[in-house]
A = this chain, B = another copy of it.
Amino acid sequence: MANGDLFNKMTLALDTDIKKIERIRAQLLMKDSDQDVGSVLYDLQQSLKSSLDTFQVKEYEIERTLEKWLLLKQDLNLAREVQKTIFPQDNIYLSNFQLAGFTRAASSLGGDYYTYNISNTGVNAAIGDISGKGIANALITIMFDSHYKNLVYQEMSLQDILFSLNQFFRGIVSNYNGLGEKFMTFLAFRFMEKIEYAGAGHEYILVNRADQKMCERIKTGGIALGLMPELMGQFSHGEIELNPGDCLVTYSDGITEARNEQGSLFGLDRLVKQVELHSHLDPERVIQKIVENVDEFQGTHEQYDDITLLIIKHPE
């Protein structure tokens, strides 16, 4: 380990210093020229020895912590592979619609969520973002995924699904220290012809209209899951019609709140511009273009939040 090498180098250096002092002391004592200097050097040697002892005990502790840290990082990478299994494994490209999604966690495990699937009543898709980040959020996404898919399977209305998810989310985060303030923004879609959506405090829905080559920004509204007890009307509800060539883009705020080295935000306008520029492409390519643009913007600035995109396109 590189850390160990550096410590060894320093231990060796201090050890050599102590031996040098030993030699100087012997030299001084033989000549018997300067007893004072000899005794000061003796004290010095003892003091260096004691520093070295402290250092070696500490070194051992640090090495152990660093080893644990390394194991934990490996464990997190393994956990990331497990978490991946909840996300759709493939794009869906059919004649009347195309679906693709993407998520990248800021650290090993993320708290962003997206999904889509086809059942006999239509297509369901969703995107969400749990406040904060980290391992706890990753665990919640997994629980949330199972619960959401069950509700979809039961063919409940979108609003009923959001009511149930709110109750579920409150159930997880209530009564536990440190989890109480967690909430989750969420957007659920269902469609056969028109796209129906229900929102819980999530970001805009962007719809690029092929005929106008312009992007609509639909404010979705609603109150995030977990913030309030179950009340009628706390979630928004709407419909969107996609015509051939139209492309609907949803995202998590990790995209718009990405920062560059100067501290500027990527922002909604930059995202809208990317959507307008690339919506003629396949959803997978649109995602690729947006992510490349965000990465380019961020430069060497570390990705601070999880980033997620979900695209529904009506092919031409």
Question: A45-86, CB under 8 A of B: which get 1 and which 0?
Answer: 001101100110010011001101100101111110111111
C-alpha spacing A146/B68, complex, angstroms: 31
Is A134 located at the chain interface by the 8 A CB criterion?
A: yes
Cβ 8 A contact of A83, one of B41, B51, B139 = B139
Instruction: Give the docked Cα–Cα distance between A72 and B108 (Å).
Output: 11
Which listed residue (B24, B37, B50, B135) contacts A13, Cβ 8 A? B50
- Interface membership of A3, Cβ < 8 A: yes
* A214, CB-defined interface residue at 8 Å: no
Chain B residues, CB < 8 A from A82: 136, 139-140, 143, 172, 176, 179
Is residue A156 within 8 Å, beta carbon to beta carbon, of the partner chain? no
Q: Which of B17, B24, B66, B135 contacts A51 (CB 8 A)?
A: B17
Q: Is A231 among interface residues, defined by CB-CB distance under 8 A?
A: no
Which residues does chain B contribute within 8 Å of A9, judged by CB atoms? 54
Q: Which of A28-36, A96-104, A263-271, A303-311 contacts B (4 or more CB under 8 A)?
A: A28-36
Is A6 an interface residue, CB under 8 A from the partner?
yes
A37, closest chain B residue (CB): B24
The residue on B at minimum CB distance from A138 is B139
Closest to A28 in B: B37
A6 touches B171 (CB 8 A): no
Indicate if the CB atoms of B48 and A17 lie closer than 8 Å: yes
Compute how far the CA of A176 lies from the CA of B72 in the bound complex, rounded to whole angstroms.
Answer: 18
> Is the Cβ of B33 less than 8 Å from the Cβ of A79?
no
Bound-state CA distance A138–B69 (Å) is 18
- Nearest CB in chain B: distance from A304 CB, A: 14
Give the shortest distance, in Å, between A69 (CB) and chain B (any CB): 5
Minimum CB–CB distance from A218 to chain B (whole Å) comes to: 32
**Which 9 pairs across A and B sit closest by C-beta, in order of nearness?**
A146-B146, A78-B136, A81-B176, A75-B134, A79-B136, A79-B135, A82-B139, A13-B51, A142-B142
Seen from chain A, the residues whose Cβ lies within 8 Å of a Cβ on chain B are 3, 6-7, 9-10, 13-14, 16-17, 20-21, 23-24, 27-28, 31, 33-34, 36-37, 40-41, 43-44, 47-48, 50-51, 54-55, 58, 61-62, 65-66, 68-69, 72, 74-79, 81-86, 109, 134-136, 138-140, 142-143, 146-147, 150, 171-172, 176-179
Query: What are 16 contact pairs spanning A and B, CB under 8 A?
Result: A10-B51, A13-B50, A13-B51, A14-B51, A17-B44, A21-B44, A24-B44, A31-B34, A33-B34, A68-B69, A72-B72, A75-B134, A81-B178, A82-B172, A138-B139, A150-B150
